[in-house]
Amino acid sequence: MPSPYRALFAAPGTKEFSAAGLLGRMPLSMMGIGVVTMISQLTGRYGLAGALSATIALSAAVIGPQISRLVDRHGQRRVLRPATLVALAASAGLLLSAHFELPDWLLFVFAAGIGCVPSVGSMIRARWAVLYRGTPQLHTAYSFESVVDEICFIFGPIISIGLSTVWFPEAGPLLAAAFLAWGVFWLTAQRATEPQPHPREHHTGGSALRSRGLQVLVATFVATGAIFGSVDVVTVAFAEEQGHKAAASLVLAVYAAGSCIAGAVFGLLHFTGRPAGRWLVGVCAMAVSMIPLLLVGNLPFLAVALFVAGLSIAPTMITTMALVEEHVPRAQLTEGMTWVSTGLAVGVALGSSAAGWVIDAAGADAGYGVPAVSGAAAVAVGFLGYRRLSQPVPVRGGTQQHGERQERNVA
């Protein structure tokens, strides 16, 4: 591992919470696809499978920021353990209901309950922020976390789909739940690196989403999430049209690998100046990288195009987290990071739905128009909101109310 990354782990406890974070994040890429595989095998109903996966994503998008807000107030241990137990109980209910062919409405109830799963990535980034705030090492830490995210997305679906198809249908979601329990309870046992909670009286200004800069980031990432969601769906359909549906997982792994490599390299670089400009360049690069997908004619070309497209993902995500840390009060940092993930999740659901509609109407080739349009929308929002992100925030306060006053002063 290059020395800047090795230096991150000089601080006590960093190796342990990073390992726990990896385990706790695996369900992010395993649960949804695992449920799709499980339901399609047990019932043959892909429509039901997709609807349940979307229910999990949208439920997490709604509940996730509220859980993170409670974490900022009361601490990770006090909030994450009960929330995880609810998510685990809902997971067990979903698996049992599917296995015993119980009514569909019950499946949706349990799928919504899985949305209580906490945003483990935000919890880990909050720990890094406490350790390295105001130092170049925080950029390296955020880069490392983006690499971990991509590792999860490379291997998680392969493990989940493989277990459910080779062993038994419920195996993929079951292992995802086991990873969640192991990761969260191990993480919350590590009290020394846990960020100090900020009691309720320090949050009189309301949600972190009142930050004008955060609003721009979340709106942009709704469009960015639509890129990711549509690329996944269209790639599966395109591979099926080419007669190699199984190859879709490998092609999408190449997409994630491009992001993983770019994130690792990006973490070795040191930048001066404010990150808003780099962020806008990253958003534009993601949009432009969607254009070659409109010209794909075979799977090898698609794999190359997606690898190149993936190179812009992790650097943009890394810079986004730096902007969240800059524009959101410290007392609400975990909530702010989770709102970005929420925007991404909503976008994924919208992109998946739009891509499916286009594929049904015009075929897989036309489906790649959805990520291209989504990229253009992300660029438009980025340019419209750039002034909010580029304005300096002179002094970071501990409350949202103070942070809002700062933004009004520089507006």
Distance of alpha carbon 318 from alpha carbon 262, whole angstroms: 11
Claim to verify: residue 213 and residue 151 sit in the same structural domain? no
Burial classification of residue 6, based on how many CB atoms lie within 10 Å of its CB (0-12 exposed, 13-18 middle, 19 or more buried): exposed
The predicted pLDDT at position 204 comes to 47
- Return all residues near 5 (Cβ < 8 A) that are at least 6 apart: 140, 144, 267
Tokens of 224: 């960015």
Domain that holds residue 391: 206-411
pLDDT at 326: 81
Residues 109 and 245 in one domain: no
Confidence at residue 223, expressed as pLDDT on a 0 to 100 scale: 93
The position carrying tokens 């994503």 is 57
pTM equals 0.76
Q: What is the pLDDT of residue 392?
A: 58
Q: For position 366, which CATH number holds? A: 1.20.1250.20
Q: Is residue 295 part of a domain?
A: yes
**Is 194 domain-assigned?**
no
Reading phi first (left if > 0) and then psi (alpha if -120 to 50, else beta), residue 298 is in beta
- Same structural domain for residues 368 and 234? yes
183 and 264: one domain? no
Q: From CA 178, how far away is CA 119, in angstroms rounded?
A: 16
Given this model, what pLDDT does residue 407 score? 36
Task: Give the count of domains, the chain.
Answer: 2
* Residue 29 tokens, joined: 């890429």
pLDDT for 200 = 59
In terms of domains, do 5 and 48 share one?
A: yes
User: Are both 178 and 220 inside the same structural domain?
Assistant: no
Q: What tens-digit pLDDT sequence spans the chain (411 residues)?
A: 557 788 888 888 999 999 999 999 888 878 877 887 788 788 877 667 777 877 888 888 888 888 988 888 888 999 999 999 999 999 999 999 999 989 989 999 999 999 888 888 889 988 998 888 878 888 888 888 888 887 887 788 778 877 887 888 898 899 999 999 999 999 999 988 888 887 654 444 567 777 788 889 999 989 998 898 788 778 877 887 888 766 777 888 888 888 888 888 887 877 777 788 889 999 999 999 999 998 888 889 999 999 999 999 988 988 888 888 788 877 777 778 788 888 887 887 788 778 877 887 888 788 899 999 999 999 999 999 888 887 755 444 444 433 333 333 333
Assess if residue 313 is contained within a domain. Answer: yes
CA 251 – CA 200 distance, rounded (Å)? 47
Pair (215, 353) in one structural domain: yes
Reference 313, options 275, 286, 277; nearest CA is 286
Instruction: From 325, 118, 352, select the one nearest 225 (Cα to Cα).
Output: 352
Q: Which of 188, 220, 241 is the last residue of a domain?
A: 188
Q: Are residues 218 and 350 in the same domain?
A: yes
Enter the tokens of residue 128: 């890094």
Same domain, 184 and 211: no
SS (H, E, C) the chain: CCHHHHHHCCCCCHHHHHHHHHHHHHHHHHHHHHHHHHHHHHHCCHHHHHHHHHHHHHHHHHHHHHHHHHHHHHCHHHHHHHHHHHHHHHHHHHHHHHHCCCCHHHHHHHHHHHHHCCCHHHHHHHHHHHHHCCCCHHHHHHHHHHHHHHHHHHHHHHHHHHHHHHCCCCHHHHHHHHHHHHHHHHHHCCCCCCCCCCCHHHHCCCCHHHCHHHHHHHHHHHHHHHHHHHHHHHHHHHHHHCCCCCHHHHHHHHHHHHHHHHHHHHCCCCCCCCCHHHHHHHHHHHHHCCHHHHHCCCHHHHHHHHHHHHCCHHHHHHHHHHHHHHHCCHHHHHHHHHHHHHHHHHHHHHHHHHHHHHHHHHCHHHHCHHHHHHHHHHHHHHHHHHHHHHCCCCCCCCCHHHHHHHHHHHC
Domain presence at residue 54: yes
Question: So what's the pLDDT on residue 324?
Answer: 85
Q: How far apart are CA 92 and CA 170, in angstroms?
A: 10
Beta carbons of 287 and 316 less than 8 angstroms apart: no
Radius of gyration for the alpha carbons in the chain, expressed in angstroms and rounded: 20
Do 215 and 182 fall into the same domain? no
